[in-house]
Each structure stands twice: as C-alpha cells, then as structure tokens.
Chain A
Amino acid sequence: MAFAVTAFNSEQWLAERSDDSDMVRLRVAYRDCVSKIEAPAENVSFPLETFPDGSVKSRLTAARAQMFPDTGYIWGEKIRVEQYKNPGTTNVWANLVAENCIVDRKTKSGWVEGDATMVYGDSSVKGRGIYFSLPREFIKILSKCEIRTKGAKMDPRSLLK
C-alpha cells in the first residue's frame, strides 16, 4: 500500500496541470504592464544566485525593464540569464534567452511572451509562450516546443535495432 501512496497519480497530475488560472492571470497582467510602460530602465543587470563563496552563480541581464510597485510585477525585454559552472569563473554552462517576460514577485511565477531558448550542456529547449512557477517547480511551454538532447536513447538494444 505504501507503494500505492507514493506512486505517481496521473489523473491528479493531469487535473492539476489543467488549472491554467495563474497563467491566464499573468498573460492578462503582461498586456496590462506593457500598456503602462513609461520609463523603463535600460541595460539592467543583477545577480540572481551566488555560490557559497559569494561569487555570482547566475546573472540576469535585460535590455529594458520596469518594475510596477503597486502590483509587484516586473517586466523585462530581451532577457538573458547566464548560469556559471564554477565559482569565480565566467564559464557559462546554462544560458536562457527570452524576448519578453513578466514576473510576479508575490507568487514567484512568470510568463514569457514570444520565443525563449535555453541551452544547457549538450541539450537545448525552445518554445513560444512559456509559463513558469518557481514554488511549484513547474514549466509549461504552450507552443512550438522543441527539445534537443543526446540522451534520449532508450537503450542501445532498442526496440527496432
């Protein structure tokens, strides 16, 4: 029975996945924020994460960005997030590029409008229209999803070898 408790419940998972209310809210908020953009900051850059020794682990840069204090939304354009492999080096191992993005600081979730690409190691993920939630550790790519990897082989002795 313990196995049944810990087993993956596909129906529940699919039911949770079909709840797009937060994504719809962010899409509406994105249009609202875009209509309110007045004096965005340019060439914004700040660290997102740090290694234990204090050196930068990941850094976000945006060509333009504006914060909306009343709602807690942050809008950014031409965003790039670089994650460094080792402390104290600039050896990038993961690179995320997005056209437009809005992040809700309260819910720590966001919406990427337009194309986005993430490259890490030998693999890459592309998509258009991406919703993400950091607390739920959840990413949803709505269209034109493409994943490239060297590790997709099921087995050397695969079914039709």
Chain B
Amino acid sequence: MKFTTRTFVFSVGLLMTALLSVGTFAAAKPSSQSAGQGSEISLADLLNPDDVMLRKPSAPSVQQVRKEAEEKAAAERARREAAEKAAAEQARKEAAEKAAAAEQARKAAAEKAAAEKARSVAAEKASAEQARKEAEARATAAEQARRDAEARAAAAEKARIAIEEKAAAEKARKEAEEKAAAEQARKEAEARATAAEQARKEAEEKAAAAEQARKKAEAKAAAEEQARREAEEKIAAEKARQEAEARAAADRARREAEEKAAAEKARREAEEKAAAEEKARREAEEKAAAEQERKEAEAKAAAEKARREAEAKTPKLVPPPAKGVSAGKDGQKEKEGKSAQKKQKQKKQSGRDAVITAERTDYDRKEGVILFDRNVYVDDEQYQLHADRLFLFMDGTNDLKRLVALGNVAITNEEKSASCSRAVYVKKLSKIVMYGSDAAPARLYQGGKKASTVVGERITFWLNSEQVEIEKPVVTVPGGSFKGGDGKDFLKNFKQ
C-alpha cells in the first residue's frame, strides 16, 4: 500500500480532530484514575499500532521507550477506562434502560394494576350491576314466578273447577247415559216383554188351538199317528210302488185308451148306424108324414066335401095335433137347453183366481215347502177346502208336487163334500188319498135327490183311471139305488 502525502495529511487531520474530541470529552468528564494523566495521553497512544508502523522509524531512547510504554500503558488504561466507562455507560444505559424498563414495567404494572383495579372495580361494578340485574331479574323472575304461580294457581283453580264441572258433567252424562241405558233396557225389556207376551199369547193361542185340536182329534190321534207311521214306512216303498203304479197306470192308460178307442169306434159305428137309421127313420117318417099329409089332405078334402055336404046338417070337427112331431121337437129343445146350461156353467167356471187364506204362512224356498197354518181355506172355482194345516211341496220349477192337508180336512163342491183327518194329493201319480180314523173316518157325501154317503178308513182316488179304492167301506144310499143289486150305479155319483 502506498500513501500519498495528501492522504497522510488528511489522516493526520482526522486523527487530530479525534484527539481533540477525546480530549474535550476527557476534560469534561475526568475519571478518578485518569484525572492527573489526561494531559499525558499522547497522540501515539491514540493511534492505531498499525499507524505507528507508518511512522518514520527512529531510534527510540530509553526515555522515549519508557515514555512510550507509559503512554502505551496510559493509553491502555485510558482504553480500559474508556472501555470501562463505555461499559459503565453501557451498564448505566442498561441500568437506565432497565430502570426505564423497570419504571415502564412499574408504570405498566401500575397501569396494569390500575387497569386491573379499574377492571376489578369495573368487574365489581359489573358484578354488582350483574348482581343487581340478577337480583332484579330474580325479583322479576320471582315476581313472574309469583304471577305464574298465581296464574297457575288460578289456572289450577280454573282447571279444578273445570274438572269438577267436567266431572259433574261426566257424572250427569253418565247418569243420563245410565238413565238412557236404563230407559233403553227398560224399553227393550218392555219390547221383549211385549214380544214375549205376544209370543206367549201366540203360544197360548197355539197351545189352546193345539189343545182344542188335540181334544178334538184325541180319538183321531192314534189313527193319525198310525197313518203317519204307515206313510213314513211307505215312503221307502213308495218309490218302487210309484214305479209299479206308474207302469200299471201306463198299462191301464194304454188299455183304457185302447178300450176307449174301441168304444169310440163302436160309438161312432153305432152313431153312424143310428144316424143311418135315423135318416132312414126320418125319410120313412117324412114319407109316412107325406103319405099321412096326403091321406089327411085327401081325408080333409073328403071331409071338407062331406062337411060341406053335411054342413047344414052336422056340427064342425077339429083334427087332433100330430103328437109324435111335437114331442120330438120338445125333446130336442130340452136337450138343447141342457147343453146350453152346461156350456153356460162351463163358461161361468173360467178365469176365477184361487184364493188361499190362513192366519200364518211359512215359505221355505230352499226346501220347496209352503205351510199354511191355522184356519186354512182354499177357495177355488171347482172346490173349497178347509183344514187346520196345509203343506204344499214344490219341485225345482215351483210346480206343485205334493199337497198334504192336516186336521179337520173338508172339501166341498156344491152338493158334494168330503171330510177326513188327513188328505194327500200326489200330482205325479194323479192320486188323492183321504185318511180317516175310527172317530173321524174318511167320508164322502152327496146331497140332493141322490143323497148318499161313503165312509171308510182310507179312500183313494186314481184320477187317471177314475177308480176309487175304499178300505173298510160303509155305504149309505137311498132306497132303490142298487138297481139289480150289484151297486154299480152308486159310485157314479162320485165319478161324475
């Protein structure tokens, strides 16, 4: 490194300024150690050793060396003192800073304490306020609670009153319900009692009727029971019998048809023969009449001639009427009258409804049974039927299959009547069976001039063959009914 003169001068100038400053500082604040030596600090002591090296080497004297050493020591001491001072200053500064910091901390602590105190005060105030508020709130709440309690008490009172009222109403309602139930029960009991009374009356009536019927039919009961048993026993055999009867009926019908056909043929032949004979008879009668008329005319002419001749001498003669002709005309008129009456009667019988009346009727469609009970009366244009009971048995198409009349059965038609304890009509067999008993046997009666009676234990009518079968018959007929003693005419009364 090379130094120029100008640089050296500048450096020295700086050094001088520094020394002057240090000297001023030292003069201003002298230390105890350096108080007597301030003026002894040389420039060389303050110079950098390196700068010392810049000095022009010279041969130092001992004095100088000592001085330099002293200066060096002084400088060292000054440096140390300066350093100590600086350290002290630093410590002082630090202490001051610490003090300041402590002061600041104290202040801060004081402020903090004040703040804390203030906060505490504020907190206390707030707490007090809070407590006041809480107290107020508690008071309010207590007031509210008191009010609520009062309201609850009032509500409870009200509720109690309402409950009491409700209880009273409920009690009243229950009482009303009980009353209504009791009333209902009473009504039902009355209704039941009425129904029971009605049923009892009906039962009594029924019992009375049954008793009456029983008394009436007491003698008939055994026979009816026997007949019922017989009927029930015969039900099983009825089927086979029905088939046999059906076959027999068919045979009978066939035979009857053949007989009828033969009879019809014979009748037609007889009618034709009778017609031919009648025709011949009429022709003969006409011829005879013409001859008679001619003879009469001739006789009349002769008589007229004789009358005229003898008119002046003899009285007038009147010829008799022709008896045969007039009688024939009367007979024809009589026949026509009877036919007209018959036709009129037939015409009168057409179209009237049959009426069945009874006190009670049961219709069981499932079983196909109709029961007419008590005072049964059937009013048909052909007959009238009375009975205590009438069963009608229908088939699947609601057509009559069987009819059973029970108890005091009576059938009438104009002058004819029948009575029995039980009558059964089976349509399939075209059969009517009248059952009687010892006390009340089956009975047929015809009034009028030909009054007659047939009584039997059982009377069966075969409608197809017009046959009647009577078991244990007793016949009562007017005198002279048994022409020839065979009794054939008697049954015609019941067949016609």
Contacts and interface: CB of A to CB of B under 8 A. Distances in A.
Interface stretch (A83-91, A92-100, A147-155): A147-155
Interface in B448-496: 461, 463-464, 466, 494
A157 B463 contact: yes
15 contacts: A28-B195, A31-B187, A139-B362, A140-B360, A140-B361, A145-B357, A145-B359, A145-B360, A146-B356, A148-B353, A149-B356, A152-B378, A159-B461, A160-B413, A160-B418
Contact of B362 (A3, A27, A138, A158): A138
B358 interface: yes
Contacts of B393: 8
A154 to B, nearest CB: 5
A136 interface: yes
A7 interface: yes
Nearest to A129: B360
Contacts of A20: 199
Contact of A140 (B357, B362, B366, B367): B362
A145 B391 CA distance: 15
A4 B234 CA distance: 11
A143 interface: yes
Contacts of B464: 157
B432 A159 contact: yes
Contacts of A144: 359
A70 interface: no
A141 B463 contact: no
A91 B9 CA distance: 157
A161 B239 CA distance: 28
Interface in A112-147: 122, 127, 136-147
B356 A152 contact: yes
A32 B369 contact: no
Interface of A: 1, 3-4, 7-8, 10, 13, 17, 20, 24, 27-28, 31-32, 35, 122, 127, 136-155, 157-161
B496 to A, nearest CB: 8
Given A35-B187, A137-B366, A146-B355, A160 B463 contact: no
Taking residues whose C-beta sits less than 8 angstroms from the other chain, chain B's interface range is: 35 or more
A7 B235 contact: yes
Nearest to B239: A3
Contact of A3 (B235, B391, B413, B432): B235
Contact of B364 (A28, A137, A142, A154): A137
A154 B357 contact: no
B412 A160 contact: yes
Nearest to A149: B354
B360 A143 contact: yes
Interface string B155-198: 00000000000000000000000000000100110011001000
Nearest to B358: A145
B209 interface: no
A142 B355 contact: no
B361 A28 contact: no
B277 interface: no
A145 B361 contact: yes
A146 B379 CA distance: 11
Nearest to A140: B362
A4 B238 CA distance: 11
B365 A137 contact: yes
A28 B188 contact: yes
Contacts of A142: 360
Contact of A27 (B195, B236, B361, B411): B195
Contacts of A141: 360-363
Interface string B381-415: 01100000001010000001001000000011100
B357 A27 contact: no
B364 A157 contact: no
Given A138-B362, A151-B400, 5 more contacts: A24-B199, A137-B364, A145-B357, A154-B427, A155-B430
B279 to A, nearest CB: 36
A24 B191 CA distance: 9
A1 B366 CA distance: 22
B235 A157 contact: no
A141 B356 CA distance: 13
Contacts of A153: 354, 380, 382
B435 interface: no
Given A155-B427, A161-B382, A31 B191 contact: yes
Contacts of B355: 146-148
Nearest to A132: B363
A8 B236 CA distance: 12
Contact of B418 (A1, A140, A159): A159
Nearest to B416: A160
A8 B425 contact: no
A150 B360 contact: no
Closest 9 CB pairs of A and B: A152-B354, A160-B413, A137-B365, A145-B361, A139-B363, A141-B361, A137-B366, A147-B356, A28-B191
A135 to B, nearest CB: 9
B382 A158 contact: yes
A155 to B, nearest CB: 5
A13 B364 CA distance: 9
Interface in B217-252: 235-236, 239
Contact of B357 (A146, A151, A157): A146
Nearest to B189: A28
B399 to A, nearest CB: 8
Nearest to A154: B425
B353 A138 contact: no
A125 to B, nearest CB: 8
Contacts of A28: 188, 191-192, 195
Nearest to B370: A147
B371 interface: yes
Nearest to A158: B382
Nearest to A135: B366
A24 B411 contact: no
A138 B188 contact: no
A155 B463 contact: yes
